[in-house]
Chains A and B, each alone.
Chain A
Amino acid sequence: MSAVAASPGPDVRSRVLDLGAGRPTIEVLEAGRGEPVLWLHGAGGIPVWEGALPRLAARHRVLAPLLPGFGRSEGLDVLEDQLDLFLHGFDVMAALGLERPAVVGESMGGWMAAEMAALRPRDVGKLVLLAPVGLWRDEAPVVDMFGHMTHELVPYLFHDQGCEAAQRMLALTGMFSERDDRTPEQVEMLIGLIRGFRTAAKFLFPIPESGLERRLWRIEAPTLLLWGDDDRFVAPLYGRLFAQKIPRARLEAIARAGHLLAAERPEETAEAVARFLAA
């Protein structure tokens, strides 16, 4: 997916941040004006500037750094463990000149945002978590994103398989099927996609849970949890769990949405986020 990130959209600026010697080099996508919002992407990266992103950028300055392995960002090797990853998030925040920004995280990015807010509670102004991973209950296992053919994940990610975002993802991931007649460009694109998944795997394989639940009480930021009411990837019960454990949290459901609510219900998602940030 990252291979197509070169043209995220007409109104989106892309730049590369050098965080210093021995640290990652990070591509940051940016659009819009107003109060800044730090957007932490999910395991699919930000291949195209679409869904809730442009709608949120109509009211906010949205800054979306890409983790190493996504887009033009490099340097995964120096992020050896999860603590390195969370501290890297603060390094990026500082390099972008953001102080106590609102942080919005989607799925894997939501997990990272929650961990950051628990680690340094005073450095996150507001927190928005879009169906984050990070908790575990045996009765509702989070779907194994690393143990499926990628196209097989689509039914878990959307409420409506016919929606535009689902169809686009199917077309892209169809190349993973058992064929070996791909063009070199297609091979590079798939390698780029796997490069991003590798980053996700480094921190989330094999089970995306590593103690966040016992740290959630530390979060001080007012928190909005948004969950698709038909999330088959991370069941809505996790939304209730997050809402119980984070002191100042509110849970809202997005109707007729699956796990990737920002892609499937962009208007409703952007509206809910903007309303919360304005309050």
Chain B
Amino acid sequence: MKFTWFHLMPYRWLPDDFRDRYHSVWVDVPNAIYEPEAGHVLYNEYLDMLEYADELGFDAIGVNEHHQNAYGMMPSPNIMAAALARRTSRANILVLGNSIALYNPPVRVAEEFAMLDVITGGRLIGGFPVGTSMDINYCYGQNPATVRDKYREAHDLIIKAWREREPFAWNGKYTKLRYVNLWPRPIQQPHPPIWIPGLGSIETWDFCVEHDYNYSYLSFSGYKRAQKMMDGYWERRAKVGASDNPYSAAFFQQVCVSDSDAACEREWWPHVDYFFNKCLHLYPGTSAAPGYMSEASMRAGIVSQVGNTTQNMGMNKTWKELCEQRYIVAGSPATVRQQLEELARSLRVGHLALGLHIGSAPLDLTNRSTELFAREVMPHLRPIYAEYEDRWSARPLPPGRRMAPGAGLPHGPGNGAGNGAERAGSTRPAAEARA
């Protein structure tokens, strides 16, 4: 198994009476309650957490994209990834944002992902979410009737921009460019692995299969409630003759680890309560603009304006209920090990994205949980699915060819900083020459 330490970056100081006073945590939550100086502390602490995960040997560290959202303060995930790029050295950087239909022209995404891939020496995993209806329709004004079509066109343009070695013209319905000519282009060839987060829409499953992308099911409801959805994904893959490789899927699970089950409840309940009862305070009227969900997905009972929106989200539940129903996997290392093994086997996921920061949790508590996870949980789960090839992780340059910030290459002259004059106009960069 592979492990991603995944951050949502919630605002930690929503008022106690948030649910009574405000309509929603998203879209129209007034920024009067955001304190920029508190945000300064948060961003830096949150980046510290991600950097610590890199030190502890997590396979990847992950960020995502939301807009006008008090539980997700990363409107630009690429900025967070850039901040991490030079402060980390081992982990893949999973950028599960860039809702590509939002960016005009979409080659901006191709450029920024290429920049991140080149800076990190090929540690990038790129994400192409369609984006929630809140983000893309209500906050960013995309037309719900056409946004999936626009998404597909943006996708095709980005992939072509990464693959082509000569300038080309793109006459799309949504984007028209006379000259597409990507500088830089990514280290990973033909492009970084792509993960597609979804909430279970059938179109997204098919899209992942068609392009051999990782399907990342990002749920806040825990693995037991995800069974039907993940079964649907595997059935769909089987039906079209795709492999059942567990690494073609990722699952997001919120996890907290303490020395004992009792200590875990004592230490984590206030922060878990904050998440489920404040951060998930959502207004159903903006959960799905008309046309955002396909009719097939609505019929399949996907959460939407037709289905319910908050009943299954974990609000108003006790610690015991949240644990028993696995909204969270929480307790001693032994408890967490046992439950995550069950998760891995029942959902058949090779990539586990861990929400090891939850709600209002502070830095020290989060780091303690992260450390316990890395030392006492991760090694036990690693062997699961070891017999499968993971084709959905990044393929970075070997360490000997990767720059360390401020220190050049680990060994070997000629490739480090300062020899640009010798290089100019002479040979190609090492990566290409050796590829």
Q: Does A17 belong to the interface (CB within 8 Å)? A: no
Inter-chain contact B306/A191, CB cutoff 8 Å: yes
Interchain CB contact (< 8 A) of B137 among A179, A195, A206 = A206
Q: Does A187 belong to the interface (CB within 8 Å)? A: yes
Q: Does B339 belong to the interface (CB within 8 Å)? A: no
Q: Mark A130-155, 1 if CB is under 8 A from B, else 0.
A: 00000000000000001111001000
- Alpha-carbon distance between A148 and B283 when the two chains are bound, in angstroms: 9
Q: Does A251 belong to the interface (CB within 8 Å)? A: no
Q: Mark A180-211, 1 if CB is under 8 A from B, else 0.
A: 10100001001100110111111001100000
B143 to chain A, nearest CB (A): 5
Inter-chain contact A178/B308, CB cutoff 8 Å: yes
Q: Does B367 belong to the interface (CB within 8 Å)? A: no
Inter-chain contact A146/B290, CB cutoff 8 Å: yes
Interchain CB contact (< 8 A) of A205 among B145, B286, B305, B306 = B145
Quick one: closest B residue to A184, CB to CB?
A: B299
Q: Does A76 belong to the interface (CB within 8 Å)? A: yes
Quick one: closest A residue to B145, CB to CB?
A: A202
Quick one: closest B residue to A195, CB to CB?
A: B295
Inter-chain contact B299/A179, CB cutoff 8 Å: no
Q: Does B167 belong to the interface (CB within 8 Å)? A: no
Interchain CB contact (< 8 A) of A206 among B141, B295, B307, B309 = B141
Inter-chain contact B145/A198, CB cutoff 8 Å: yes
Interchain CB contact (< 8 A) of B290 among A182, A187, A198 = A198
Considering residues B290, B291, B298, which has the most beta carbons from chain A within 10 angstroms of its beta carbon? B290
Question: For chain B residues 281-296, which have a beta carbon within 8 Å of chain A?
Answer: 284-286, 289-291, 295
Question: For chain B residues 241-293, which have a beta carbon within 8 Å of chain A?
Answer: 284-286, 289-291
Determine the chain B residues whose CB is within 8 A of the CB of A197 once the complex forms: 290-291
Determine the chain A residues whose CB is within 8 A of the CB of B284 once the complex forms: 149, 178
Q: Does A217 belong to the interface (CB within 8 Å)? A: no
Q: Does B310 belong to the interface (CB within 8 Å)? A: yes
B159 to chain A, nearest CB (A): 24
Q: In the complex, how many residues of chain A place their beta carbon closer than 8 angstroms to a beta carbon of chain B?
A: 25
A93 to chain B, nearest CB (A): 24
Determine the chain A residues whose CB is within 8 A of the CB of B173 once the complex forms: 80
A76-B145, A201-B144, A202-B146 as given contacts; A194 in contact with B299, CB under 8 Å: no
- Alpha-carbon distance between A2 and B305 when the two chains are bound, in angstroms: 17
Q: Does B138 belong to the interface (CB within 8 Å)? A: yes
Q: Does B419 belong to the interface (CB within 8 Å)? A: no
- Alpha-carbon distance between A205 and B289 when the two chains are bound, in angstroms: 9
Main secondary structure of the interface of B (DSSP, over half): loop
Q: Does B171 belong to the interface (CB within 8 Å)? A: no
Quick one: closest A residue to B291, CB to CB?
A: A198
Determine the chain B residues whose CB is within 8 A of the CB of A200 once the complex forms: 290
State which size class the interface on B falls in. 20 to 34
Inter-chain contact A178/B285, CB cutoff 8 Å: no
A180-B307, A191-B298, A191-B306 as given contacts; A198 in contact with B285, CB under 8 Å: no
Considering residues A179, A180, A194, which has the most beta carbons from chain B within 10 angstroms of its beta carbon? A194
Determine the chain B residues whose CB is within 8 A of the CB of A202 once the complex forms: 143, 145-146, 291
- Alpha-carbon distance between A192 and B284 when the two chains are bound, in angstroms: 19
A149-B285, A178-B311, A180-B308 as given contacts; A198 in contact with B144, CB under 8 Å: yes
Quick one: closest B residue to A197, CB to CB?
A: B290
Inter-chain contact B298/A206, CB cutoff 8 Å: no
Interchain CB contact (< 8 A) of A201 among B285, B291, B298, B305 = B291
Inter-chain contact A201/B286, CB cutoff 8 Å: no
Q: Mark A157-194, 1 if CB is under 8 A from B, else 0.
A: 00000000000000000001011101000010011001
- Alpha-carbon distance between A148 and B310 when the two chains are bound, in angstroms: 15
Inter-chain contact A201/B310, CB cutoff 8 Å: no
A179-B308, A194-B305 as given contacts; A152 in contact with B285, CB under 8 Å: yes
Inter-chain contact B308/A199, CB cutoff 8 Å: no
Q: Mark A198-229, 1 if CB is under 8 A from B, else 0.
A: 11111001100000000000000000000000
Quick one: closest B residue to A76, CB to CB?
A: B145
Question: For chain B residues 130-147, which have a beta carbon within 8 Å of chain A?
Answer: 137-138, 141, 143-146
A147-B285, A195-B295 as given contacts; A201 in contact with B290, CB under 8 Å: yes
- Alpha-carbon distance between A205 and B298 when the two chains are bound, in angstroms: 21
- Alpha-carbon distance between A76 and B145 when the two chains are bound, in angstroms: 10
Inter-chain contact B146/A194, CB cutoff 8 Å: no
B219 to chain A, nearest CB (A): 16
- Alpha-carbon distance between A201 and B308 when the two chains are bound, in angstroms: 22
- Alpha-carbon distance between A80 and B305 when the two chains are bound, in angstroms: 25
Quick one: closest A residue to B141, CB to CB?
A: A206
Chain B residues in contact with chain A, CB under 8 A?
A: 137-138, 141, 143-146, 173, 284-286, 289-291, 295, 298-299, 301, 305-311
Known: A178-B308, A187-B298. 14 other contacts (CB 8 A): A146-B290, A147-B138, A147-B285, A152-B285, A180-B308, A182-B306, A190-B306, A194-B291, A198-B291, A201-B144, A202-B145, A205-B141, A205-B143, A206-B137
22 A–B contacts, CB within 8 A, in A order: A146-B144, A146-B289, A147-B286, A149-B284, A178-B308, A178-B311, A179-B308, A180-B308, A187-B306, A190-B306, A191-B295, A191-B299, A194-B298, A198-B144, A201-B143, A201-B144, A202-B143, A202-B145, A202-B146, A205-B141, A205-B143, A205-B289
